[in-house]
Amino acid sequence: MPENFLISVVGPTAIGKTALGIKLAQHFNTEIISADSRQFFREMKIGTAVPEKEELAAAPHHFIQHISVEEEYSVGDFERDAIAKLDELFQRKKVVVMVGGSGLYVKSVIEGLDYFPEVDPHIRANLNNESLENLQRKLANFDPDYYQIVDTENPHRLIRALEICIGTGKPYSSFLNRKKESRNFHSIQVGLTAEREKIYDRINLRVDKMMEAGLLKEASNLFHKRHLNALNTVGYKELFLHLEGKIPQEEAVAEIKKNTRRFAKRQLTWFRKDDAVKWFESTTPPEDIITYAEARIKDSLQ
């Protein structure tokens, strides 16, 4: 059995994953793999809550702001790069920490990606002409289970699921969780959670702080690139509508908060389906979670 351990910190946005990940990395004298797909892009600092300079200096981080919004970077690309980085880190560290709320990206590293059959490319071409509302309605009809956890505001994700549904005649979700890759590490997953109202309060406060930090200016600088898939995300698409003169700034900020709350709900839905996650209240002292991780490591080595 491998003697390497990957400790993954998961949970909804704004719950405190970054701080806990740093505590774990410092305790185990190790480094952090980021599995937050929005933080990959160097132009999107404020709106994706990239760790502050002090946090990045507190423990070595990987896969934060390492590519441009101009680049295509899939979950498959991340799986390949993350596994390569883990192989490198495990040569000198027995424990590595992974932090992130992007469920599919976390899953790709721990288990590998699911297999999906090839389908007629004309299906995707036709779906590309559909409105977001039609895509949402169709997926809710074809695959209500996946509809409950997918980002329904992301047309790329909706189209990907729908082309499989239409091309195979089977729900997209029926192809999930089929493949288990052999990994050279033990996986330990810890999740942070809190009462819904507390999570929502944290999200609202974070959005206010983002606006104070200059999120509107950051969105303005990216406005001419708003057609890119990386920018079709919460925090930017709402401000783009404001910059287009379609909604006032106050409404854009309210929409960011609402859509982020919805995103957090989907994150919790995704991670709570995984029995391997050990849940802790966000107020749990980091020392208690470190004690849990150490016990899991000890048990695995016996």
The answer to whether 14 is annotated as binding is yes
The answer to whether 168 is annotated as binding is no
The answer to whether 16 is annotated as binding is yes
Element (H, E) at 207: helix 196-213
The answer to whether 12 is annotated as binding is yes
| Paired sense of beta strands 186-193 and 95-99, if any | unpaired
The answer to whether 248 is annotated as binding is no
The answer to whether 17 is annotated as binding is yes
The answer to whether 13 is annotated as binding is yes
The answer to whether 48 is annotated as binding is no
> DSSP letter string over 102-166?
-HHHHHHHHT-PPP-----HHHHHHHTTS-HHHHHHHHHHH-HHHHTTS-TT-HHHHHHHHHHHH
Signed CA dihedral, 59, 91, 36, 97: sign only: negative
Element (H, E) at 186: strand 186-193
- Residue 139 in contact with residue 146, Cβ under 8 Å? yes
Binding residues for substrate: 13-18
Binding residues for ATP: 11-18
Binding residues: 11-18
